[in-house]
Homo-oligomer: A and B are copies of this chain.
Amino acid sequence: MTLEGKLLIGQRAVRGSQVEIRAIDPTIGETLTPAYLGASKADVEQACALAEEAFTTYRESSLDERATFLETIASEIEATGDELIERAMAETGLTRARLEGERGRTCGQLRLFASVVRAGKWLDVRLDPALPERQPQPRVDLRQRHVALGPVAVFGASNFPLAFSVAGGDTASALAAGCPVVVKGHSAHPGTSELVGRAVQRAVAKCSLPDGMFSLLFGLGNEVGQALVADPRIQAVAFTGSRSGGTTLMATARSRPRPIPVYAEMGSINPVFLLPGALEHHGEDIAASFVTSLTLGAGQFCTNPGLIIGIQSPELEAFIDTASMRVTESNAQTMLSPGIHGAYEHGVEALAAHPHVRQVARGQAGSGSHQARSGLFVTSASDFLADSALQAEVFGPSALVVECADLSEMQRVAAHLEGQLTVTLQMDAGDLEVARALLPMLERKAGRVLANGWPTGVEMCHAMVHGGPFPATSDARTTSVGSAAIRRFLRPVCYQNLPEHLLPESLKDDNPLGVTRLVDGKREV
């Protein structure tokens, strides 16, 4: 397919009219063709109007129609073949293996939501049958199901050009819930976005769904995103990116005449607690696996382990020595974009220049453009507690080690942490009591608590929580990865004494959809 550099508005491909956007191959620093022009306010409005129109049909699509649509998107993405991988490599500097894996994850995610839709648990059907004889007053017939919120605005993330972008988890879960989607594509990978967007367009057509099910807009700066979130037809927002980007969208969503929910995943420094027994018995291994996790994909994961907390001891010193050696040996890696590389360099320089931070290692310098050198820094717990700026995320392969005087200072560091996506305990059998003492505070700080692993892998499954207290996300009650992500786009509706012929399928007496239902508070299949 020849990339056309266009916006996708419903089934049409439209030339934009605003500021030009061009992807840059970060490996060689060269601009790629074609150029994309930003969407106008009228383009945003048209996409939203089409989405609203599509919603009136799609919200009542059958479970099978919806699941088939998600599966068709996955097939169409696969059918795009190597062109997609090559374009994504050029636009992001990520490796073929990584992008092939990410494509698998993206299509797996769409198929997971297809199975979630078919199972129908998300409807959360509850029936409280009428009790006409009840005293002192009869009970009416009450039935509850969940319905879709309405058209959703999805913002593509830069660091997962497939899995958290045009047809990533946010789009998949919104479509699964019954919501048409308008995507604001990330300006760093417009060509990848167009290829995936075309695949979604084809799936819409193949499934004979309304045109407005899906649109893809581009725009430099905040204008298009702000217009999208402010549009009265948009009913929810999903975003993965920076804290400033997320909080800006939150403010826009709140200032609407009718506020809407924003699900913004805004990053995290993913603290790792090195407990004494683990350090003593496995310090060397932990240091090695830490640096592997730290430098994976040039550290460009929201779950990158950016903060290590240990207790001053010869074992901690040995850990820092080993980790320093590994960091020093680590090769430079190309970052996603010049902007991200610039921000990383800036963050690392600020740490190095901090009066209470010691730089203990930097990785190898690279020969290419926009390559990140890993970094390892050390500070004391008292300095960490005194300066909140040390909790700022440095997006990339850099970490800060915090040395605590003792366990109680480690507890204070835990209590001082901002909200996180993950918190990790490195522990062995002898650390159980220490871990038990820390755990309640860690649960309050993060959406996922790990033992003896590294947070960079985020499994797509039912139990996953990729979320956490503010500022990690805008809404700690939700997850953006895993089957529970569908809940973000649903609301309950109760039907009282509706005639059988008027009830939605999921609530009819004979349960034609065969979904699990809670009848009088008891689960029935």
Contact = CB atoms under 8 A, between A and B. Distances in A.
Contact of A462 (B119, B496, B520): B520
B59 A435 contact: no
Contacts of A475: 261
A158 interface: no
* Identical subunits present: 2
Given A492-B479, A492-B484, A502-B436, A139 B462 contact: no
Interface stretch (A68-76, A184-192, A441-449): A441-449
A457 B119 contact: no
A483 B521 contact: yes
A138 to B, nearest CB: 10
Contacts of A128: 459, 461-464
User: Which residue, A258, A432, A435, A443, has most C-beta atoms of chain B within 10 A?
Assistant: A443
A439 interface: yes
Interface stretch (A197-205, A349-357, A466-474): A466-474
A142 B459 contact: yes
Given A147-B443, A464-B144, A502-B436, A450 B497 contact: yes
Chain A interface size range:
35 or more
A497 B451 contact: yes
A499 interface: yes
A475 B525 CA distance: 30
A464 B60 contact: no
A489 B501 CA distance: 36
B435 A502 contact: yes
A126 B478 CA distance: 14
Interface of A: 56, 59-60, 115, 119, 121, 126-128, 137, 139-140, 142-144, 147, 149-150, 250, 254, 258-259, 261, 419, 427, 429, 432, 435-436, 439-440, 443-444, 446-453, 457, 459, 461-465, 467, 469-471, 474-479, 483-484, 490-499, 501-502, 516, 518, 520-521, 523, 525
The 8 closest A-B pairs by CB, nearest first: A465-B494, A144-B463, A126-B463, A142-B463, A450-B496, A128-B461, A448-B494, A128-B463
Given A447-B494, A451-B498, A477-B490, 5 more contacts: A142-B461, A429-B499, A449-B498, A452-B497, A469-B491
